[in-house]
Amino acid sequence: MARLLHNLLLLTVRLTFKIRVFGYWFLIYGYCVICTGIALLKLWWNIIIRPSTTFQWTIRETPPACLNDTSLGTHCYVRIKESGLRFHYVAAGERGKPLMLFLHGFPEFWFSWRHQLREFKSEFRVVAVDMRGYGESDVPPSTDTYSLDYLLTDVKDIVEYLGYNRCFLVGHDWGGTIAWLFAIHYPEMVTKLIVLNCPHPSVFTDYTLRHPSQLLKSSYIFFFQLPRFPELMLSINDFKALKSLFTSRSTGIGRKGRWLTNEELEAYLYALSQPGNLTGALNYYRNVFSFLPLIQTEVRSPVLLLWGERDAFLEQEMAETCRLYIRNHFRLNIISGASHWLQQDQPDIVNTLIWTFLKEGEGRKNYRN
């Protein structure tokens, strides 16, 4: 009788777990269908009502001059033995100084850190990486190669290749997610963690499931799960959607800060228009649901979280909740008037806040590894 009850209880637990898993993926793909329907309606509207819509786009063959600005640093490449991938990065500052590693977000590349490369090269070896699938780094074709393990190993291998065993890690957007997770999995390699407009993964998951407003703001994540169709929607009319992402009044850079110049915008379009790069960037999202529900770990490193007040993609309330997952010193700064791209439209304020955080606690004498 006892064995029968035990087996019945075990069966009930397993069935409950399977139902929860089924419900989780049903919610995700059901929302994907809704987002796809909306995207199709928009596409139909542009084709039927506005026949000027074109499916053509231009692959930029010549990089804008701003990408070769020597004040930003030197263009370098490294081939990681374990993965076999070649990564591109821009480095400045003296070799041997403490490493400050910058991880960009979507749909950016190393260039999003141009203001910080100039600012911190005086006391750090500053390195801004093109993540796998972006810029001049290699673009693995398989979606599975953008899983959490690969992305974290990329960062670890790059730090070690540069000759360091720890770094000051700075991440924005998707780079912020990877920075959070890297600090969780490799705490001994992160001296201090600086994250811009990206909540702790557990905070994002929990908050989104409980707040329909954030679920609506994150609808693009569900749309990006589809194969090929998101690439089409982002590239038609010569990347009109991406141009709008960086320049519109609701989501763009510089409403109360520095505007993105035409040359800087062309730099982004140059990087994203290269064959395979748009798919590589979207593949990060196509793996996101496989690991976000599993992240429930605290961060041991001191953390600075900078947040743009008018972020169009994330609810500000998530920023304060991140405190629950920090075991060390935590500083949160909400930057008035700053957008999601705050290191670009408010670079002076961002740089000042980072300097303040770097000088706290340990002091400059402990910068070195």
Q: Per the residue annotation, which of 130, 138, 154, 173 is the catalytic one?
A: 173
pTM of the model: 0.86
pLDDT of 20 > 70? The answer is no
Q: Which residues pair with 111 in a beta bridge?
A: none
Query: For residues 188 and 164, what is the distance between their CA atoms, to the nearest angstrom?
Result: 12
Most confident among 4-13, 213-222, 281-290, 299-308 (mean pLDDT) = 299-308
Give phi and psi for 346, each to the nearest 5.
Answer: -135, 55
- Domain edges within the chain: 65-201+277-362
Query: For residues 99 and 83, what is the distance between their CA atoms, to the nearest angstrom?
Result: 23
pLDDT of 369 > 90? The answer is no
pLDDT of 362 > 60? The answer is no
pLDDT tens digits, one per residue of 101-114: 999 999 999 999 99
pLDDT of 54 > 90? The answer is no
**Residue 132 CB neighbour total at 10 angstroms:** 23
Q: Is 173 a catalytic residue?
A: yes
Residue 178's pLDDT band (cuts 50, 70, 90): very high
Q: Is 285 a catalytic residue?
A: yes
Return the SS3 of 186. coil
Residue 364's pLDDT band (cuts 50, 70, 90): very low
Name the percent of the chain lying above pLDDT 70. Answer: 79
- The stretch 81-100 carries a mean pLDDT of 94
Give the DSSP letter of residue 112. Answer: G
Provide the token pair at 288: 């996101």
Q: CB-based burial of residue 162 (10 Å sphere; 0-12 exposed, 13-18 middle, 19+ buried)?
A: middle
Q: Per the residue annotation, which of 164, 285, 325, 367 is the catalytic one?
A: 285
**Structure-model confidence comparison of residues 207 and 81, the more confident one:** 207
Beta strands in 3-70 (DSSP E): none
Q: 198 near 171, Cβ under 8 Å?
A: yes
Query: For residues 255 and 240, what is the distance between their CA atoms, to the nearest angstrom?
Result: 19
Q: Is 172 a catalytic residue?
A: no
Q: 306 near 184, Cβ under 8 Å?
A: no
Task: State whether the Cα torsion 236-240-243-244 is positive or negative.
Answer: negative
What is the CATH T-level fold of the domain 65-201+277-362, as seen in this structure? Rossmann fold (3.40.50)
Provide the token pair at 81: 């033995």
Distance of CA 152 to the CA centre of its chain: 13
Mean pLDDT of the residues in the chain: 86
